[in-house]
Amino acid sequence: MTYDSVETFREKRDEALQYIQQTTDQRPEYLIILGTGLGKIADKMEIRTEIPYEDIPHFAISTVEQHEGKLLFGSLAGKEVVAMQGRFHYYEGYTMNQIVFPLRVLYSNGAETMFISNACGGMNSNYRRGDIMLIRDHINMMGDNPLIGPNDDELGTRFPDMSEPYTKGLIELAEQVALDKGIHMHKGVYAAFPGPMLETRAEYRMLRMIGADVVGMSTVPEVLAAVHMEMDVLGISVITDECFPDCLDPVKIEEVLEAAGMAEPHVTNVMTGVLERL
């Protein structure tokens, strides 16, 4: 999905929005993207309406992921929320605009704050597999972004500022929640590569030198679209493997999944703790 004009985008957005608004009257302020580390937060939600992506006009359909994609409308920690179960990755072949289309539709439905999580490899030598990291800033090395193309001035400005993509107030709140709950959480910089291959030793070394603490294959497209729309953003990474170039072990998918499972309760606790205090 690329748009030749702002009108094409608005038409598609409005058709998707209309379908959603016919199906639910919820207009949640909080949007949660269920990436690695947050999958089970859906179990804690009181779900009122489920909408499969395939029923929503112009939503991409998740072909690679095991569970089919759907929007979950309901409440969590006393707040109205919508969760995206099933997200789209650039390496799957989706365009940047397809990846962020649901986010733009949900913004028009009232979402003002985005919670997002991901799996990543850690280059910072203080980080261990299974640790979690609050995203303080990012480096986009995907070679693409969702803001290229005609700009809808009603969504956001042509040249969005990126001095604070991750909302300072939410970072402080998340740190306070982690402290109160005794959860150990790093704070650092996330670099995004397109994937799907993992990085070479030379790439990990370079990423560390340019100031990245972790690297992954998601999140940055959604954050850029969210910041463009002036949404608040809170992001947490789960370190699923250690990427130290001088002693690098081949990544095993079972170990990645195991680390994600270990960290999941912590990510869920921090995110729900923040929601409770908002």
Q: How far is the CB of 241 from ligand HPA (least distance, A)?
A: 5
Binders of ligand HPA among residues 217 to 256 (CB under 6 A) are 217, 240-241, 243, 256
Identity (one letter) of the amino acid at 4?
D
User: CA 87 to CA 219: how far, in whole Å?
Assistant: 10
User: CA 51 to CA 225: how far, in whole Å?
Assistant: 22
Q: How far is the CB of 127 from ligand HPA (least distance, A)?
A: 12
Choices 10-18, 49-57, 191-199, 261-269; region in contact with ligand HPA by CB under 6 A:
191-199
Whether the CA torsion 154, 155, 159, 162 is positive or negative: it is: positive
Task: Determine, following the binding rule CB under 6 A, whether residue 35 of this chain makes contact with ligand HPA.
Answer: no
Task: Determine, following the binding rule CB under 6 A, whether residue 137 of this chain makes contact with ligand HPA.
Answer: no
User: CA 238 to CA 198: how far, in whole Å?
Assistant: 16
Q: How far is the CB of 244 from ligand HPA (least distance, A)?
A: 11
Identity (one letter) of the amino acid at 254?
E
Q: How far is the CB of 228 from ligand HPA (least distance, A)?
A: 24
Choices 3-11, 43-51, 214-222, 268-276; region in contact with ligand HPA by CB under 6 A:
214-222
Residue nearest to ligand HPA (CB): 121
Task: Determine, following the binding rule CB under 6 A, whether residue 198 of this chain makes contact with ligand HPA.
Answer: yes
Task: Determine, following the binding rule CB under 6 A, whether residue 119 of this chain makes contact with ligand HPA.
Answer: yes
Q: Exactly one of 41, 83, 178, 215 binds ligand HPA (CB under 6 A); which one?
A: 215
Q: How far is the CB of 167 from ligand HPA (least distance, A)?
A: 24
Binding site for ligand HPA (CB under 6 A): 119-121, 193, 198-199, 215-217, 240-241, 243, 256
